[in-house]
Structure 1
C-alpha cells in the first residue's frame, strides 16, 4: 500500500465514522429535524453553491455564516456546530478528489497534514493567550499585502511564480510550522484556506498544490470536533443533511474546474480569494469594533 493510498483510506475511515454517527443521530431525532427551520428547496440550491466556491478555497464558514444569519436558520449558539458538521462530507469528497487528481509530493502533503492536525489539537493552549482581534487584523492586512505581491508578479513588476510540487529542507520545515499555526488559528475562527494558499505560493510551489494540502488537513481535523457537536446536539441536523448530499454536487463541479485551470489562471484565482478573505476579515473587524464601542455584540465570521 502506497502512502497516498493510505491517506485516502484514512480519509474514508475517519469521515465514514462521522457519517455513521450523523445518520444515527438523524434517525434518533427525526421528529426534531422536521421542526427545524429552512426551506428544502432553498437548502438544496444553496448547498452546492456554498461548496462550489469552497472547492476554490473560498471559506464556506464565512459564506454560510452570512447566509444562515440573514435567513435566520440557526441561532448563534448552534452556528459553530452547524458550520463544522455541514462541511465534513463535502470537504472529505474534495480532499479525495484533489489528492487523487493533482500531483503533489507525498512527503510534503503528509507533513503539512500532520502539522495542521497537531496544531489544531495542541495549538489552542497557546493561541488563547493571544488577542484574537489583533491576530485577525494582522492577518487581514497580510492577506491584502500578499495579494499585491501576486498581482505585481502577474504584471511583471517583480519576479514571481513557481511550479514545484513538493518541498524539502528548510522550506518544508517552514511549511510545517505555518500549517501548525494555521491549525491552531482555526480554533479562534480564522480559516486556514487563504493562509495555506499564500504560504504555498510564497514557497515557490504550483498554486494548485495548495488545494490537496488545505483540504487534506481539514478533512482530518474537522470530523473529530464535529462528532462532539453531534454528541451534544449543538448543530442543525437539517442543514447538515442537505449539505452532506447536495453540497457534494458543488464540490465535484468545482474540483473539475480547478484541475482544468493552468498555473497562470490559478494565480488570478488565488489573488482573488486572498483579496476577498483579507478585505472581508478587515471589514468584519471594523464592524465588530464599532459594535463593541456601542455596547453591542458582533460575532466575527470564521
Structure 2
C-alpha cells in the first residue's frame, strides 16, 4: 500500500513535469534532436540504470561533441534525464521486493536531505567530503570482495530493516541526499549503505532511483520555467534514455545475486576512484588559486 502511494505521488509529479515541458515546447518548438543526441541518451541512461550514474558522462559527451552550450548543460541534464529516471523508479519498485516502510522512509529521507541539503552541507569543504567518501567506498568494496571470495561473512538477503538498523539507514540516507547538493552522487554510497546494513544488493536500486525520481521533476521544472536548457539535447536524452532503461533494468533484475554483487563492487570501486580523483584535483585547484592570488 505504501509503495503504491509512493508511485502514485511520483506519477502526479511526473505528469506535472510533462505538462510544463509540453507547454514550453509549444511556445518555442526546437525541431528534431537528431540521432547523435538520442544516442547520448541511450548510452548514458543504460549505464545509469546499472547504477553508474549519467550526469558526468553526459556532461563530457555533450561538451566534447559540442551538442549543447556549456551554460545550459546542467539544465539539459536535469530535464532530459528526468523521465528515464522516473521510468527506472517505477520498474525497480514494482519488480524488486522491498519492505514498504523501509522503502518509503529511506526514500523520503534522501529526498528531504536533498531538499534541505544546501543549509546542511554549505559549510562543508567539498574536497574533504570527496576524499572521505572515496576512502569509505574503497573500504566497503574491500569488505564486499572479502565476502564474495569467502574470506569473511558478508552481505545479506534482507529486503527491509527494523529497529536501530532502520534508524541508521534513514539518517545516513538523509545525509547522502544532502550531499547531492555538493554534486556527490547518491547511487554508489546508497549501494554501500544497503550492503553494510545486511540487505540484498538489489534493494539499493529502488531506493536510490526512487530518491532521485522524486527530486528531478521539481528541479527540472525550474530549468523549464527559466529556459535554462537546450531543448534538442534534453529531448534527445529522453527519447534515447527511456528504451535504454527498459533494456538495462530487465538485465539487472534478471542477474543472480552473486553476479549482481560483483557488479555493485565494480560500481563502488569506480565511484571511489572518481571521488578520490576529484578530491585531489580540488586540492590542486585550490593551491593554484592561492598561488595566483599571491
- State the TM bucket, normalised to the shorter chain: over 0.9
Q: Does 1:48 align with 2:42?
A: yes
Partners in 1 of 2:206 and 2:264 — Cα distance?
A: 14
1:271 to partner: Cα distance: 0.4
The answer as to whether partners of 2:83 and 2:238 remain within 8 angstroms in 1 is: yes
1:238 and 2:238 are equivalent in the alignment = no
Tell me, yes or no, if structure 1 residue 10 matches structure 2 residue 16. no
Q: Deviations over 1:82-104 (max 9, x none)?
A: 22212110000000000111111
TM-score by length of 1: 0.91
Give how far 1:229 is off: 1.0
RMSD (Å) for aligned C-alpha atoms: 1.7
Q: How does 1:286-297 map to 2 (within 5 A)?
A: 286-295=280-289
Classify the secondary structure of the residue corresponding to 1:191.
coil
- The structural deviation recorded for 1:106 is 0.5
CA 1:77–1:111 in structure 2 vs 1: closer, same or farther (change >3 Å)?
A: same
1:299 alignment partner in structure 2: none
Residue among 219, 226, 234 paired with 1:225: 219
1:122 paired with 2:121, answer no
Q: Of the candidates 60, 80, 86, which is equivalent to residue 92 of structure 1?
A: 86
- 3-state DSSP class of the match of 1:243? helix
Shift in Å, 1:123: 2.3
CA–CA distance in structure 1, aligned partners of residues 276 and 66 of structure 2 = 24
Q: Distance in 2 between matches of 1:245 and 1:24?
A: 18
Q: Could you tell me how far apart the structure 1 residues matched to 2:234 and 2:104 are?
A: 29
Provide the residue aligned with 1:167 in structure 2: 161
Which contiguous aligned blocks of 4+ residues in structure 1 show a shift greater than 6 angstroms?
Answer: none
For 2:157 and 2:13, locate their aligned partners in 1 and report how far apart those are by CA, in whole Å.
32
- Contiguous gaps of at least 5 residues in structure 2: none
Mapped to 2, the partners of 1:110 and 1:150 lie a distance apart of 26
Residue 127 of structure 1 deviates from its aligned partner by: 0.5
The alpha-carbon deviation at position 287 of structure 1 amounts to 3.3
In the alignment, structure 1 segments of 5+ residues that lack a partner are: 297-302
TM-score normalised to structure 2 length: 0.94
CA deviation string 1:176-201 (max 9, x = no partner):
00111011111110110011100001
Q: For residues 167 and 53 of structure 1, what CA distance do their matches in structure 2 show? A: 28
Residue 188 and residue 75 in structure 1: after superposition, are their counterparts in 2 closer, same or farther (change >3 A)? farther
Distance across 2 between alignment mates of 1:114 and 1:39: 35
1:19 is aligned to 18
The alignment covers a number of residue pairs equal to 290
1:250-269 equivalent positions in 2, closer than 5 A: 250-269=244-263
Deviations 1:141-172, CA, capped at 9 Å, x for gaps: 21122111111111112210200000011011
Question: 1:29 corresponds to which residue?
Answer: 28
